[in-house]
Amino acid sequence: MPGAARPLDGITVIEIAQNLAGPYAGEILARLGADVVKIERPGGGDDARGWGPPFLDGAGSSFHAVNAGKRSVALDLRDPAALARLREALARADVLVQNLRAGALEALGLGAEALRAAYPRLIYCSVSAFGPTGPLRARPGYEPMMQAFSGLMLTGGHEGDPPGRIGVPLLDYGTGMWAALGVLAALRQRERTGAGCVVDASLFETALGWLGGHFASRRIGGEVPERHPTGSSKLIPFQAFETKTGPLIVAAGNDRLFAALARALERPEWAADPRYATNAGRYEHRATLLAAIDEIMRARTKGEWLDRLEQAGVPCAPVQTLVEALEQPQAAASGMIQPVPGMDLTLMGLPLRFDGARPPIPGRAPRLGEHELPP
């Protein structure tokens, strides 16, 4: 941050991770100021280097998104000398982030139990598909598999539609976030106790966490909430409606906002109608109400409805592409798009600010093996 030390200055992280979830945990820590040293296999390195097109500087765009500002050290961990050098680095490190297949690091003597015994201050963070316990603990898992397995894939879309993957790697990024949050908590705990600990995060558990609201509905109401392409299983109306020029999200999240919406739709009597006056009533009579709103919304353009609903104080938003979203003045004002030092490239910044300042991107993504282990 300008004029001040970043929160994790002085923290050294060894990352033995590839693809997205583990590297994203390391990326968060790097953006917060940690020195993140990425250990990669010679020759190919992280698989995500080959995920493309598009490619820049020999690596795919996904690699750049989650590895900016790190250092890359190429080590063949089957080589005893290289393994010894890594152990020396781990003795001085604060954190290890790893997402190798189950048992891989244990076979090298780098499992959590062995390293925690050798280096009591080390925080050992493992990122996996299913977590450290249970019959599936050794299975690998990629994003679409875990969206499918967890039930997340069947929360969107219309009832009866084929399953649809959420279009961003929500579980990879979410698991990386939980891993980084766990590391930060473990660092704080170490300040008090002097001891590190083992932090575990997994894609499956992240998915279950995101589905906590659905689980509560199941336990309290006895049913799994029905699927919705853009809407809510609890709030009516709270979804996209078609207009003459494209869809518009309308989010009348309480009875007061519904009354404002009814006036904007020129149906003020709805606010006093016992079928619609409360959210419970609107939910019970949702088919009739939503059909009526849909018919009205189709009569005007998206721009007309935006003006009318915003003047009425009804939350609403156009359904946009990423390009359209980035063209909005709010995107520029947010400062989320940041330059990458040393490259003609901008990337998304960390969605977090300290005293109004966003942590800068510390550097470009490393070329494979261009660095040495820290002394």
Contacts of 246 (CB under 8 A, 6+ apart): 302, 318, 319
- Taking the C-alpha atoms of residue 235 and residue 113, their distance in angstroms, rounded to an integer, is 48
**Secondary structure (3-state) at 97:** strand
Q: Which is the catalytic residue, given 76, 79, 172, 294?
A: 172
Neighbours of 222 (CB within 10 A): 7
Given 3-state DSSP classes, what are the helix, strand and coil percentages for the chain, each rounded to the nearest 5? Answer: 40, 15, 45
Q: Is 172 a catalytic residue?
A: yes
Full DSSP string of 106-170? HHTT-SHHHHHHH-TT-EEEEEESS-SSSTTTT----HHHHHHHHSGGGSBS-TTSPP---SS-H
How far, in Å, CA of 184 to CA of 48, rounded?
26
CA–CA gap between residue 279 and residue 271 (Å, rounded): 11
Active-site amino acid positions: 172
